C-alpha cells in the first residue's frame, strides 16, 4: 500500500485513514472486527463517511445522502434572507428570486442526483420541498375552478 501510494506521489495519513466494506452480500459485514491491521498500523472500520460532499454508507443506501441534500437545500433557502424572506418590500422581482432558486437551491438539492435511484417516497419528499419553496416565493396559488 505504501509503495503504490509513493509511486503516485501520495503519502498515507495513518491516523486519519479509515476503511469501509461495500458489497451486496452481508458475508463480510458480519465480521465484527472494527479495524484492519496492515503491518504495524490499524485502520478503523466505519459504516459511513462523506466523500466529495456525498454521504456513502456500507449498505450502498443513498437515503441518508438524500435527507442531507434536502436539509442543506433548506438551509440554503433560508440563508439569503434578503432575497427570500424579506422580498415583501417588492424591490426584488419574483422572477429574480425564482432564478436564484433555480441557480442555488436546485443545485444544492440535486448534487450527484444522477446516481440516485428514486422511489415514489423519495420523489414525494423532493416535490414537497420544492412546493414549499415555490409557495414561500410566490404565495398561495388558487385554482380558478375552485373559486367559481
Name the grid cell of 8: 503516485
Residue 66 contacts residue 124 (beta carbons within 8 Å): no
Centroid of chain to Cα 28:
27
Q: Would you state the pLDDT for residue 72? A: 83
Tell me how crowded residue 87 is: count the other CB atoms within 10 A of its CB.
17
Instruction: Delimit the domains of the chain by residue range.
Output: 2-46, 54-141
Q: Is 80 exceeded by the pLDDT of residue 145?
A: no
Q: Would you state the pLDDT for residue 131? A: 87
Q: Would you state the pLDDT for residue 146? A: 57
DSSP secondary structure, the chain, as one string: -HHHHHHTT----TTT-EE----SSSTTTT----EEEETTEEEEE-SEEEETTEEEETT---HHHHHHHHHHHHHHHHS-HHHHTSGGG--S-HHHHHHHIIIIIHHHHHTTGGG----HHHHHHHHHHHHHHHHHHH-----HHHH-
Residue 45 contacts residue 33 (beta carbons within 8 Å): yes
Q: Would you state the pLDDT for residue 138? A: 79
Q: Would you state the pLDDT for residue 83? A: 52
Q: Using one digit for the tens of pLDDT, what is the confidence trace for 84-119? A: 555 555 567 778 878 878 888 888 888 777 777 778
Q: Using one digit for the tens of pLDDT, what is the confidence trace for 20-31? A: 877 666 555 555
Q: Give the Cα separation of 143 and 93 in Å (integer).
A: 23
Amino acid at each position: 500500500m505504501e509503495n503504490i501510494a509513493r509511486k503516485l506521489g501520495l503519502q498515507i495519513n495513518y491516523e486519519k485513514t479509515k476503511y469501509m466494506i461495500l458489497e451486496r452480500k452481508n458475508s463480510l459485514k458480519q465480521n465484527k472486527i472494527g479495524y484492519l491491521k496492515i503491518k504495524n498500523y490499524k485502520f478503523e472500520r466505519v459504516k459511513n463517511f462523506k466523500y466529495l460532499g456525498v454521504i456513502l454508507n456500507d449498505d450502498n443506501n443513498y437515503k441518508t445522502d438524500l435527507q442531507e441534500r434536502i436539509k442543506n437545500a433548506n438551509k440554503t433557502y433560508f440563508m439569503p434572507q434578503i432575497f427570500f424572506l424579506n422580498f415583501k418590500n417588492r424591490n426584488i422581482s419574483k422572477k429574480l428570486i425564482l432564478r436564484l432558486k433555480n441557480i442555488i437551491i436546485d443545485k444544492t438539492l440535486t448534487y450527484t442526483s444522477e446516481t440516485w435511484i428514486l422511489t415514489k417516497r423519495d420523489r414525494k419528499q423532493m416535490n414537497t420541498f420544492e412546493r414549499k419553496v415555490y409557495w414561500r416565493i410566490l404565495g398561495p396559488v388558487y385554482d380558478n375552478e375552485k373559486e367559481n
